[in-house]
Amino acid sequence: MRAGRTLRAAAASILLLATRPAVAQDRAPGDDWPNFFGNTQAWSYSPLDQVDRGNVARLAPVWAFSTGEKGLSATPLVVDGVMYLAAPRDHLFALDAASGRLIWSHAREIPQGQVGASSTGLSMAFGLLFFGTMDNHLIALDAKTGREVWDVEIEDYRLCKCTTSFGTILAKDKVIVGVRGDVAHRGYIDAYDAKTGKRLWRFFTVAGPGDPGNATWSGDQWKFGGGSTWYNGSYDPDLDLVYWGVGNPQPMMFAGNRPGDNLYTDSVVAIDAATGKLRWHFQETPHDSLDYDSAPEPVLIDVDRGGTTQKLLVHANKSGFTYVLDRATGKLIGAWPHADAITWTKGIDKDGRPIDPLQNEPGVEKLVCPSVYGSRAANHSAYSPRTGWWYNTSFEVCAKMRAAPLMPFKEGDFVVGGFLAPERSQTTKPFIAAFDPVTGKREWTHQTEVLNASPLLATAGNLIFGGDPFGLAWALDARTGAQLWSFPTGGGISAAPISYAVGGRQFIAIGSGMSSPPGALVPVLWPELKDRVPPVGSTLFVFALPQPAQGGKP
């Protein structure tokens, strides 16, 4: 460890003793936001209801924190009154969650040369914070001081041109992390011992020799097959299964050199958390040439079906369809469209396969809806057990696409295999909607002015929080979709809102500072609105109801 880092850690420890907030040990359920989605089921739901439909109009900013970086798409954690925030360029902060006062900061030294994008999420266990770095390391920090406890290199980023998934998840004593990068590379999901950093298993998302599914690849194309695990997975502790969405095959838009279904790309996989072995898979887009990742979060819900509780998995695909699976077996329960503009297929058959899907062809331009940006991307959904509804976003953006003959390539090369030009749908508009997660019945639709790049948060106060590319943080009525509150943050929003409580007071936090690729489409596809797109900042805003004057209600 360098001397400077040692001195910073020592100084942080002294500062911690002076500034760490005093928080009662008997924290109520929902007071903390302990992982990326709030729970391991990827609900993005808070059971707090102090802020509700009746009083949300009074919500006001109580503190803000600038990271000093550019862009902010991170999801903070809150545990025992302390907020942990990851900023761009591997910069981490611990803050007093009630006041925003800085407790410690950790700035990792970034190597020279090409590195990946910053992670947007943390996980925490055993007093340690786990974080994937831009140079493809997984590190653990002491949550009290910010001191590095262990540091492991997942893979040499200079060779794979890859970095870690948007965040990590926990499965008992294991830290689970994926890999991202649209390059000629074989994707995987890793598990590490949380206390030591020792790698315990690796599951490859592209089937190699000896794996079931390897016959769906031609020759040695599996070596460069893609299958990035971009976003975050979910975990069922009762079944001890990790669920993860797998990205597109490589090359992205040219499929002529990889005949077959190309397993396990564009699939949801269920992995035994103890062994790393595949329990089941469900492929949503076989032999994909349209970049329809299955990367979005697998949402785990339990529903009563005929008097029996059934464990289900609800999964949105970039293709505009949502799939409902039995999460114990992988059996298809149903599939339904969550987007309006869908031109690439005539529908989904009884086995879950697309009917007469479009394929990219060299020299043939085709208008494809949704576009390669998807009907949605990293802007994750939310599920409310209060309403029983699932809330999701659709960009309603199309693209003109055509494949191109391949040039020779090697591992780590960026191989698109075609050309594309995004354009707005001529018949539909972007929206946020509430759905029955099993049947797909749309309960309400809230149209947005442009595509919505922010993830969503549902709360027990019957509210849905998010933000727009123009910097407006907002709250919708979870029952009707009506907008009830907004606040201009001054920076486009692509960060996930969270909710937590300290001392009995509920807070809503959301990062301001657009750093989402779909967000860059706004000035291109809506040029008449380009002057309204603010500069990129990096500030976390925290809101609450006004404090009562004499012990009354907020």
Structural domains of the chain, with CATH: 3-18+40-544 (2.140.10.10)
pLDDT in tens, 243-288: 999 999 999 999 988 999 999 999 999 999 999 999 999 999 999 9
Residue 239 buriedness (CB in 10 A; 0-12 / 13-18 / 19+): middle
* Closest listed residue to residue 430, CA positions, set 489, 478, 379: 379
What is the amino acid identity at position 526? W
- Residue pointed to by tokens 């989605």: 37
Using the predicted structure, report yes or no on whether residue 209 has a pLDDT greater than 50: yes
User: Please, which pLDDT band fits residue 549 given cuts at 50, 70 and 90?
Assistant: low
pLDDT in tens, 422-444: 999 999 999 999 999 999 999 99
Q: Do 189 and 244 form a contact (C-beta atoms < 8 A)?
A: yes
Share of the chain above pLDDT 70, in %: 94
User: Looking at per-residue confidence, does 127 or 408 come out higher?
Assistant: 127
Provide mean pLDDT across the span 386-398.
98
- Residue pointed to by tokens 């262990």: 150
- Mean residue pLDDT of the chain comes to 93
Using the predicted structure, report yes or no on whether residue 520 has a pLDDT greater than 50: yes
User: Please, which pLDDT band fits residue 554 given cuts at 50, 70 and 90?
Assistant: low
Provide mean pLDDT across the span 532-552.
88
Share of the chain above pLDDT 90, in %: 85
Rounded to an integer, what distance in angstroms lies between the CA atom of residue 172 and that of residue 170? 6
User: Please, which pLDDT band fits residue 21 given cuts at 50, 70 and 90?
Assistant: very low
Using the predicted structure, report yes or no on whether residue 4 has a pLDDT greater than 80: no
Catalytic residues: 291
Rounded to an integer, what distance in angstroms lies between the CA atom of residue 534 and that of residue 488? 11
